[in-house]
Structure 1
Amino acid sequence: MNTLIEKYKGIHPGIILERLLKKKAISQRPFALSIGEHPQTINAITKGRRKLNIALALKIEEKLSLEEGSLALLQTYFDIKDEKSKTKQNTPDLTLLRKSLFWDTDISKIDWQKQSVAVIKRIFERGNDIEKEEIKHFYKIAIVKAALEQSNRKPYTIYNNKESA
């Protein structure tokens, strides 16, 4: 089991199930009926549109002679990876941005996506090179360029003096 888990950690178990069925030349519909499940359920799982619950994972593991709990563990690792990616980075690295740049607002209440143009303009107007680099990294260069082009102030450049030479 450890090799299966380590090899496929973070991948939806439905993808692994689909590969196993193809490898054993088993069609989804007959397989689903053989374990007492609806074919649509197995199809949704193999396409990654549905989670694999423990009861179903145990049925599948028994039918395919897999080690007990292997598919359930894959689902857990997939859920962990999915949750981490959702909460990964909703804000730029605030340790690199001076709070004094946002003197007129609570920096913890900024909606970094909705207020992206205002944030980008402020950082490029008053920020240092480290802060500008962090904003370019967080928003990506295309978004930063678009926001700076909307500015009615002096033309901004997203390049350091070293980069433009």
Structure 2
Amino acid sequence: MNTLIEKYKGIHPGIILERLLNKKAISQRPFALSIGEHPQTLNTITKGKRRLNTALALKIEEKLNLEEGSLALLQTYYDIKEEKSKSKQSTPDLSLLRKSLFWDTDISKIDWQKQREAVIRRIFERGNDIEKEEIKHFYKSAIVKSTLAKSSRKPYTIYSNKENA
């Protein structure tokens, strides 16, 4: 099981299940009926659109002679991966940025990754120290520094003297 888990860690277990069924030349519909499940349920799981609950995982593992808990464990690792990706901050702390900095656009519609160079330049042209610190925290200081170094408007002061020391 350890090699199965390590190999497929972070992948939706439904995708793994679909591969296993294809490898064994088992059709989804008859398989679903043989374990007492609706074919639609199994189909949405194999497409990665639905979670694989523990009870169903145990039925599938028994029917396919898989080690008990392997699919449920894959679901757990997938859930962890999804939660980590959600927890990554997708926007800076908007409460620290004045809306007037983005007077010409709807701040809720800014794609903070695609438009990061414009955002960084704008904040460092018109923002206060708190806003600059938030942008350095959100994008990481190295990215901010390299973006400002490429900018046609110079000089930008990114760090105070005490930070360079």
Compute the TM-score of the two structures, normalised by the length of structure 1: 0.64
CA distance 1:115–1:123, shift in 2 (3 Å): farther
- Quick one: distance in 2 between partners of 1:137 and 1:114? 18
Partner of 2:75: 75
Partner of 2:19: 19
Post-superposition Cα deviations, 1:34-60, rounded to whole Å, max 9, x if no partner, equal: 101000000000001100000000000
Partner of 1:55: 55
Unaligned runs of 5+ in 2: 100-106, 141-146, 154-165
Post-superposition Cα deviations, 1:73-121, rounded to whole Å, max 9, x if no partner, equal: 00000001001101112345x8xxxxxxxxxx952999xx628599652
Unaligned runs of 5+ in 1: 95-104, 139-157
CA distance 1:43–1:106, shift in 2 (3 Å): closer
CA distance 1:27–1:7, shift in 2 (3 Å): same
State the aligned residue count.
132
CA distance 1:51–1:160, shift in 2 (3 Å): same
Partner of 2:45: 45
Partner of 2:96: 107
Displacement, 1:124? 3.5
Please provide the CA RMSD for this pair: 3.9
- Quick one: distance in 1 between partners of 2:60 and 2:47? 16
- Quick one: distance in 1 between partners of 2:98 and 2:64? 51
**Partner secondary structure for residue 79 of structure 2:** helix
Partner of 2:159: none
- Quick one: distance in 1 between partners of 2:15 and 2:82? 15
Identity of aligned residues (%): 65
Spell out the pairing of 1:109-128 with structure 2 (5 A cutoff).
Answer: 114=108, 120=120, 121-126=122-127
1:33 maps to 2:33: yes
Partner of 1:64: 64
Partner of 1:99: none
Post-superposition Cα deviations, 1:122-150, rounded to whole Å, max 9, x if no partner, equal: 3333589x97x959958xxxxxxxxxxxx
- Quick one: distance in 2 between partners of 1:37 and 1:115? 42
Partner of 1:155: none
Partner of 1:6: 6
